Amino acid sequence: MSLTDSAVPDWIAGLGLPGLYDVHTHFLPPPVMTKVWAQFDSAGPLIGREWPITYRGGDSERVEQLRALGVRRFSALPYAHRPGIAEYLNDWAAGFAAEVPECLSSATFFPEPDAAGYVAARIESGTEVFKVHVQVGDFDLADPLLDEVWGLLADAGTPVVVHAGSGPVGNSHTGPGPVREVLRRHPSLTVVLAHMGAPEYLDFLEIAESFDRVHLDTTMVFTDFFEREAPYPRELMPRLMDLSDRILLGSDFPNIPYAYAHQLESLERLGMGEEWLRRVCWDNAHNLIG
């Protein structure tokens, strides 16, 4: 029997958790979210396949949906896709987090001359998590314009959720190489690799094994939707067990083509055990971010 959204609170209680800590959800300015959804609806060039959005309500409706599920901490994760837009997104996300106490204060950046200045200001103001999306922004993580940014983030210990894997449609800057180069320069950087680096799972797992501050988020991984296109190699599961303190729950809510509960049942059916689920669904993110 499939887990339903209405049954998620009981599922959480069965694990003895206070709730879910989801580090990979999206809230964007409504005009931007409308454009994002149009990409999904048209299976546009960044999507490449049919991808219906399950949770299409307004911001307040989607916040209430997360609350009803038992998600006690979640993110906004704006991501800049071109120069000059990061601070517009960051201002909006800061206002959203101020109104929604469960939402992590989230921000983004792009390789541009003023990036270090506004990232420093965002760190100083208490931003809890940053997001960059190489697959959408099509930029080099190792761009010299970002070197000071990475240094600031490494010094602050602020996590950065990085979509660097080549899924769903890669470009010349996706893949593990640029991430390795950034970590070579800044080995203490706290990175959360979105989607476990799909589809380059092994490469990004090796990166996490090599750097103590690198984490993996579960976003969409192991779901039926992902398993059809980019199945996770089951021979890597023992190594994921060894990294059980650095795997974080992510969902990609609201931009998912299935019920939220399916991400949770996809993790449960791996058979990694309740302690692993407790770490992934709450403890690890709570210990990392608070």
| 149 assigned to some structural domain | yes
- Contact indicator for 162, 191 with CB cutoff of 8 Å: yes
Q: How many domains does the chain have?
A: 1
Residue 79 forms part of a structural domain? yes
pLDDT given at position 181? 98
pLDDT of residue 121: 98
Query: 251 Cβ partners below 8 Å, 6+ apart?
Result: 22, 24, 25, 218, 219, 220, 260, 263
Residue with tokens 């038992």: 70
Omega within 30 of 0 (cis) for the link into 233: no
119-169 confidence digits (pLDDT tens): 999 999 999 999 999 999 999 999 999 999 999 999 999 999 999 999 999
pLDDT attached to residue 1: 62
The residues, any chain, with a CB within 8 Å of residue 213's CB and separated by 6 or more, are 187, 188, 189, 190, 191
Angstrom CA distances, 283 to 20, 98, 147, 247, stand at 9, 24, 31, 10
160 in a structural domain: no
Q: Which residue has the tokens 């997104």?
A: 89
Asked whether residue 18 is assigned to any structural domain, the reply reads yes
* pTM for the whole structure: 0.97
Cβ pair 131, 192 in contact under 8 A: no
Cα(6)–Cα(68) distance, rounded to whole angstroms?
8
Calpha distance 15→275 (Å, rounded) = 8
* Phi, psi at 230, each rounded to 5°: -140, 70
pLDDT at 4: 98
Percentage, residues of the chain above pLDDT 90 = 97
Q: What is the CATH number of the domain that holds 72?
A: 3.20.20.140
At residue 46, the pLDDT reads 85
Strands (E), 55-99: 71-74
pLDDT for 45 equals: 86
Q: Is position 188 within any domain? A: yes
Q: Which residues of the chain, if any, have pLDDT below 50?
A: none
Expressed as residue numbers, the domain containing 22 is 5-155+166-289
pLDDT of 253 reads 98
- Identify the pLDDT of residue 63: 98
Residue 87 domain-assigned (yes or no): yes
Q: Of the candidates 190, 237, 231, 241, which has an alpha carbon nearest to the alpha carbon of residue 211?
A: 190
Domain membership flag for residue 161: no
Q: Can you tell me the distance from the alpha carbon of 134 to that of 59, in angstroms, rounded to the nearest whole number?
A: 25
Tokens for 57, please give them.
């309500």
Instruction: State the Cα–Cα distance between residues 32 and 17, nearest whole angstrom.
Output: 34
How far apart (Å, rounded) are the C-alpha atoms in residues 144 and 141?
Answer: 9
